[in-house]
Amino acid sequence: MERALPEPLMIKGFLVYKGLLSIDDQRALVQEIRQVAEIAPFYSPITPGGRPMSVRMTAAGRLGWITDRRGYRYEPQHPSGISWPPIPDSVMKIWTALVPNGPSPDCCLINYYGEQARMGLHQDKDEGDFSYPVVSISLGDDGLFRMGEVGRTAKTQSVWLSSGDVVVMGGAARLAWHGIDRIRFGSSSLLLKAGRLNLTLRVVRPV
């Protein structure tokens, strides 16, 4: 990630940087995420309605996004009670390259998608401040990313996100609806097992 930034695709206000990360960048990220998961293991979150989410989750940074019967929120601790590990350096470098004048992110949410996992259309609106973008990093298998607008029922457009692609959701798109419809399970050999990792960097409370 030391190169000049390429021109992104602009889809409904989302900036999509296809192939931003080299294979070496991707491998280094996976190593660092493995270390995070040794301290803060992936777990299956439960929605406030009592349904298990299909993705498995963990986080790094001062705060992690949590859902359970009590609702959606950010918490300084993993459900086990330990503090989230710090956001790895290789992840922070990607943020700084894309958001050079912003504050540091205080959450890196980490989602793992198995074969049947998906992420329903949602808005990222549990943060205290929407002035800064959310930066999303895809690793492993391809995922079909659906992008909408701030209104729930606006027309959507989809793009396949592959390993090494990075999406920036800022400005008017910051509160746009989006989700992952499906995974092309086994399409990448980056991870030891098939599946997709997605990292999203957020500024929850600027400090």
Binding site for ligand MD6 (CB under 6 A): 111, 119, 124, 134, 136, 143, 145, 167, 169, 178, 180, 198, 200
How far is the C-alpha of 176 from the C-alpha of 146, rounded, in Å? 10
Coil, strand, or helix at residue 97?
Answer: helix
162 touches, from Fe ion, ligand MD6, none (C-beta below 5 to 8 Å by class) = none
Per-residue tokens: 162: 């592959």
119 touches, from Fe ion, ligand MD6, none (C-beta below 5 to 8 Å by class) = ligand MD6
Judged by CB, which is closer to ligand MD6: 82, or 148?
Answer: 148
Residues 198, 22, 203, 58, Cα dihedral to 10°: 30
User: % helix / strand / coil in the chain, to the nearest 5?
Assistant: 15, 35, 50
Q: Which of 106, 124, 141, 165 binds Fe ion (CB under 5 A)?
A: 124
Per-residue tokens: 146: 């659906």
Coil, strand, or helix at residue 10?
Answer: strand
163 touches, from Fe ion, ligand MD6, none (C-beta below 5 to 8 Å by class) = none
Q: Tell me the residue nearest to Fe ion as measured from the CB.
A: 124
Span interacting with Fe ion, options 91-99, 120-128, 160-168, 187-195, rule CB under 5 A: 120-128
145 touches, from ligand MD6, Fe ion, none (C-beta below 5 to 8 Å by class) = ligand MD6
